[in-house]
Amino acid sequence: MDMVRSHILVCGGTGCTSSHSAEIITALEDELKAKGLDKEVKVVKTGCFGLCALGPIMIVYPEGAFYSRVTPEDCKEIIDEHILKGRIVKRLLFQETIQDDNTIKNLNHTRFYAKQHRVALRNCGVINPEKIEEYIAVDGYEALGRVLTTMKPEEVIDTILKSGLRGRGGAGFPTGMKWKFASAPAPVKYVCCNADEGDPGAFMDRSVLEGDPHVVLEAMTIAGYAIGAHQGYIYVRAEYPIAIHRLQIAIQQSREMGFLGKDIFGTGFDFDIDLRLGSGAFVCGEETALMTSIEGHRGEPRPRPPFPAVKGLFAKPTILNNVETYANIPRIILNGADWFASMGTEKSKGTKVFCLVGKINNTGLVEIPMGTTLREIIEDIGGGIPNGKKFKAAQTGGPSGGCIPASLIDTPIDYDNLTAIGAMMGSGGLIVMDEDTCMVDIAKFFLEFTVDESCGKCTPCRIGTKRLLEMLTEITEGRGTLEMLDEMEELCYHLKANSLCALGQTAPNPVLSTMKYFRDEYIAHVVDKKCPAGVCKKLLAYVIDRDKCIGCGMCARQCPAGAISKTDYIAPGKKLPAMIIDAKKCIKCGACVEKCKFGAISKR
């Protein structure tokens, strides 16, 4: 048996893979083989470590050296210095891990990780997701074994109910309650996993599938036993090739090991799982549209009731949860309902995974106890706003969610608090915006997405979202009126009350929340015909300060519209005539501002 003295863990998630982590793994293996160290040092391809802003990421154990922004060219130095000579390559270390005495700080004590508590992400970045033996080594499939050999189906459901676990994919419906509804006797039932995840800026579920696919298979099998189902389906977007590849490997390995298929653990219980690939339709994140798509039809929502627990996939009783919800199940079984319920708030138990993106220093994947404040996420975990800018707002829940203004930065994040302020948890996208963001433009951005993704089945959503977008466009282009603001609000509430599914019902949320907290910006667009953030092009004017202009002509040479010319005015102390911008010809591209080295051109 080979004696391994060091493990080099390299992130193999989508983000780091796009930054050449696969080439890094190859370079490390080649270098180790050339040095005769390939039996002593093991390179492990893992899932996402979370701190995506610093990728590609590598951790070398037993020292725990956290290397960031590694390139294939750095691998020889890491092997020569760290592995051979025991000298850590400090230039590549994540700076927060270096202590004053030049020793390495525990990664969990850094700002990014200190306030996190990884439950759903516990194995991501720790194990090789393509090796079932590594999952088993961290208690994998132990929960399934315990359930099948020592628990009755109703005991499993009761445990999930007592834990307080709520669905992590949208409105937060109690998971145990959903399972209980589907537990009524029926000859055929199904268990489904929603891995469609289509929100802009969201990659929570994808990262779990890439880093810990077996946890979803184990949880779905437990769910199947709890409700009496024998077949499961994972609906995953075809745009997630790494997740699909690792799921295919995991399903095959589980079948070979006897964790899927016939007579699991010799108990007589049969359960199997198949994949179904989605084509990227956002509406298929809605449970009935997802099931319709699995059935081979166009992904459109169905009226409810009947609910899926009564009549779901192929008109049979069905439960559907998302990836993150399932990722919590095995730990709840192993550690107990009270353990899970001890985390979070009174009505929102456990932890929540967020994708922290936008105007934030530490972009990445974070998992925090429910009740953590937005301030802690942005300032402590996220490391604050780049370039000294001020925090302005955060959008949670993607196109279905709402904007949280800076005045509410101390709001504890849980289902009820977010709903109370006009936002929602959603799947967990958290987009941070700074002072340079136009909130009217943000609302327009999400409406553009919703209009494009609406299936068109119901009239309120098909026509209402389009009309809402038209009014937002008129406002951002200077043609809005105060009456239009009232019309928009009325239309928003009509959409919420009359749309068939959650896509249309929640589409107005970005508009309503921005109008509630940033109405002054709407007024400025409508009354003053100005965009305070300087984002909406139709409302901008580029002006040259003729006293600062030295007449070099660089702006004119860069202008694609030929809108800049010389004047007859020569400023005091200058030798050449100042330049001027023809507002009628200007296309507001900003090329002149970027090229002017003297700060003579400004947006107004």
C-alpha separations of 320 from 86, 214, 227, 285 in Å: 50, 18, 12, 11
- For residue 396, give every residue at least 6 positions away whose Cβ sits within 8 Å of its Cβ, in sequence order, or none: 402, 404, 413, 418, 423, 424, 425, 426, 429, 430, 431
**Does the pLDDT value for residue 393 go beyond 50?**
yes
pLDDT band at 425; cut points 50, 70, 90? confident
Helix 323-335 and helix 213-227: axis angle, to 10°?
70
pLDDT tens, 504-519? 999 999 999 999 999 9
Instruction: Determine the Cα–Cα distance for residues 13 and 208; give it in Å rounded to an integer.
Output: 9
**Look-up: residue for tokens 């969610």?**
401
Give the per-residue SS3 of 480-527. Answer: CCHHHHHHHHHHHHHHHHHCCCHHHHHCCHHHHHHHHHCHHHHHHHHH
Q: Mean pLDDT for the chain? A: 94
Average the pLDDT over 306-318 and give the result.
96
Cα distance between the two ends of the chain: 71
What's residue 7's pLDDT? 96
Q: Which tokens hold the place of 4?
A: 């391994």
Q: Quick one: which of 341, 369, 414, 328 has its CA closest to 162? A: 341
What's residue 2's pLDDT? 60
Query: 0.85 cut: is pTM over it?
Result: yes
Distance of CA 457 to the CA centre of its chain: 28
What's residue 341's pLDDT? 97
Distance of CA 296 to the CA centre of its chain: 28
Choice among 102-106, 317-321, 490-494, 513-517 with the minimum mean pLDDT:
102-106
- For residue 521, give every residue at least 6 positions away whose Cβ sits within 8 Å of its Cβ, in sequence order, or none: 438, 439, 440, 514, 531, 532, 533
Strand-pair partners of 396: 402, 430
What's residue 1's pLDDT? 45
Instruction: Determine the Cα–Cα distance for residues 291 and 285; give it in Å rounded to an integer.
Output: 10
pLDDT tens, 313-330? 999 999 999 999 999 999
> How large is the C-alpha radius of gyration of the chain?
27
Q: Which amino acid is at 298?
A: R
Strand-pair partners of 543: 602
Neighbours of 324 (CB within 10 A): 27
